[in-house]
Amino acid sequence: MWFDEIMDDCKQGLEVVSKNKGVFIPILIQAAINMALFIFVFVGSVIFFIRHGRDLETIFNSPENLLSVALPIIFIGFILYLFFVVIGVMIEVGSVHLYKLAVEGIKPKVSYFFDGIKRYFLKVFGGTLLLHIIILILFIPGLVLFVLYSLTIGILTAGWGITLLGILIGVYFNAWTVAVVVDDMGPLKAIITSMKFGMRYFWGLFVLTLAGIMISQYMGAAFGALVNIVGGWFISGAILAYFKLVILIIYKRKREELVYK
Amino acid sequence: MKKIHWIFDYFKQAFHINRTNKILYIPQIIFIAVKLLMIMGIGVAVYTGLGQRDFYRLIIGDFRFEQFFPMLVYGGISLLMMGLIYMIISRIVEAGLYNMYKQSVMAGTIETGAFGDGVRKYFFSFLLGDILIFIAWVIFLPFYFIAGIVTLTVGFAIIPLIINIFLTMWKVSLVMNDSGLFTALGDSFRFANHYFFPLTILQFIHWSFVKGIRGGGNRGNYGLRWTEHVDKVPQLPFWPGSISNQQDIVAIVINFMKIAIAVLVPVVTIATAVAALIKMIFEVFFSLVIFIAYHHRFGESRELIEREVIL
């Protein structure tokens, strides 16, 4: 029974993380970096508007002045985007490599984390850029459809329709980095394998993705606003890391059916 | 950590009990239907109220507060009565449902009349227990605020969490042991004290689905919340000598409000129904898990339910 298998995988996942708590360290470091950067950008924006708020009218009235402000902002935005993608991909491949070794009974070490980055960074980075380019191309029609969907199904389902969208994306795309690390696949093949994985084991992955989203959101906010602001990143990160490890366990169990059939 | 592993076995067991006892959903579906009727009733009442001459006169200032006061009292009493009826019906459904959970966990099947038996045996205990807990909260409120402020608002979230964890099992204990209210409350506290960590994990998972950010019961109370905003009419400046224009504007605004309510009532009703049905699925599942956890005591029970799952 698929539900029983998923629960056994969750149990195995819990056993693995309780014996190898080090697998969470990269995710916690990433959460700290994200939080620090968010604070930096937020404080920087506030200072900018305090110092130059009155000049904004002059800037927006003159196209030359507007360009001289807009171009640096776009450039800095692009650098920040690249930074977040690079750090995110490094943490992702290093972490998934640690999860894979932990599941195989090997204690995580710092060298294994960097080993994972050396082996799989370019593939996952390429796959991530590919997905982002696809999102960019489909952005305008996607946004129109999303707004229509939100205003109809979203409202009629009290927001559950929008959660369902997030879950469906997770079901079909959550496992592609796992496929890259476990089977050393190229990014395109890994994305297709992830989609096949989602189609074959839809309900199991649906339950896991739903649980991951619900629990990480609730746990981040359950202890009040102060804990949410300071610790929410870490709590959500650790919970999503656990569910990624469980997906890796399921993938390893089912991979022969996916890869060789 | 071993005790936490049992949670996943409880999930498995609850899933299979769910599959074979779909009758568990019937009382809550009926309750949701009653809730939807209440929402539609409030919507129709507001729509009708907007069309009243007295409301129009109140907006344009041709109505004294003393004349409006009886209407206000009548409206307030009606809402209070609806709240009381809602509370009583919800306790009736809960009492019957808990007896059904008990039978499905202990025997695997639910007998005919289980719901009625549950209501007869446990309704008053549930109602009294909830009233006592509410009174205790009211008495405890000043200390709660002080603790919350001293802990920089962290206490505002953590204190209710801890109290709810200790109160998790009182209804379960009352039903499983057919005990009295205070015995059940004591048992709940002892259970939580003994199995605090695994019970906390279980309840956090439970609450993340039931009280989660999307959907959930809070969002289901659309019918009571949006009505707070319905009677806010924009304040119009008074122009001497142009009263007829102001009256026309007020009439147009009231008509728009009536159209908005005519659209909002079905939308809110559907949204409430969907959110309530989704929450119901999670609530039935996790209630079964809590019953199983109480009976099994995270691996320390002498009576283990060995349930062979027919795949």
Q: Are A250 and A204 in contact (CB under 8 A)?
A: yes
Which amino acid, B10? Y
Q: Are B211 and B221 in contact (CB under 8 A)?
A: no
Query: Which one of B5, B150, B208 makes the best mutation probe of the A interface by having the most chain A beta carbons within 10 Å?
Result: B208
Query: What is the full per-residue pLDDT of chain A (261 aa) written as tens digits?
Result: 889 999 999 999 999 999 988 889 998 888 888 888 888 888 888 887 777 666 666 666 666 666 777 787 888 888 888 888 999 999 999 999 999 999 999 988 899 999 999 999 999 999 999 999 999 999 999 999 999 999 999 999 989 999 999 999 999 999 999 999 999 989 999 999 999 999 999 999 999 999 999 998 888 788 877 777 778 888 888 999 999 999 999 999 888 776 655
Residue ranges making up the domain that contains B130: 2-136+194-299
Nearest to A131 by CA among A185, A91, A177, A80: A177
Residue at B160 is within a domain: no
Residue at B100 is within a domain: yes
Per-residue pLDDT at B79:
84
Instruction: Determine whether the interchain pair A160/B274 forms a contact, defined as Cβ–Cβ distance below 8 Å.
Output: yes
What mean pLDDT do residues B116-130 have?
94
**CA B146, B150, B153, B155 torsion: positive or negative?**
negative
Q: State the pLDDT confidence band at B234, using cuts at 50, 70 and 90.
A: very low
Q: How far is CA B169 from CA B25, B34, B152, B188, in A?
A: 21, 27, 30, 5
d(CA A43, nearest CA chain B) in Å: 23
Residue at B153 is within a domain: no
Instruction: Determine whether the interchain pair B153/A18 forms a contact, defined as Cβ–Cβ distance below 8 Å.
Output: no
A227 touches chain B (CB under 8 A): yes
CA angle (B296 as vertex; B6, A2 as ends), nearest 5: 45
pLDDT at residue B122 is higher than 80: yes
Those residues with Cβ within 8 angstroms of residue B248's Cβ, 6 or more apart along the chain or in another chain: none
How many Å apart are CA A230 and CA A214, to the nearest integer? Answer: 19
CB proximity under 8 Å: B 139-158 to A: 152-158
Q: Considering its fold, how many domains does chain B have in total? A: 1
Per-residue pLDDT at B239:
40
pLDDT tens profile B1-22: 677 889 999 999 999 999 899 9
Q: Are B122 and B174 in contact (CB under 8 A)?
A: yes
Residue at B307 is within a domain: no
C-beta atoms surrounding B156 within 10 Å:
18
How many Å apart are CA B208 and CA A224, to the nearest integer? Answer: 14
Which ipTM did the prediction report?
A: 0.85
pLDDT at residue B228 is higher than 50: no
Residue at B278 is within a domain: yes
Residues from chain B contacting residue A10 (CB–CB below 8 Å): 8
Residue at B129 is within a domain: yes
Instruction: Determine whether the interchain pair B12/A3 forms a contact, defined as Cβ–Cβ distance below 8 Å.
Output: yes
pTM: 0.83
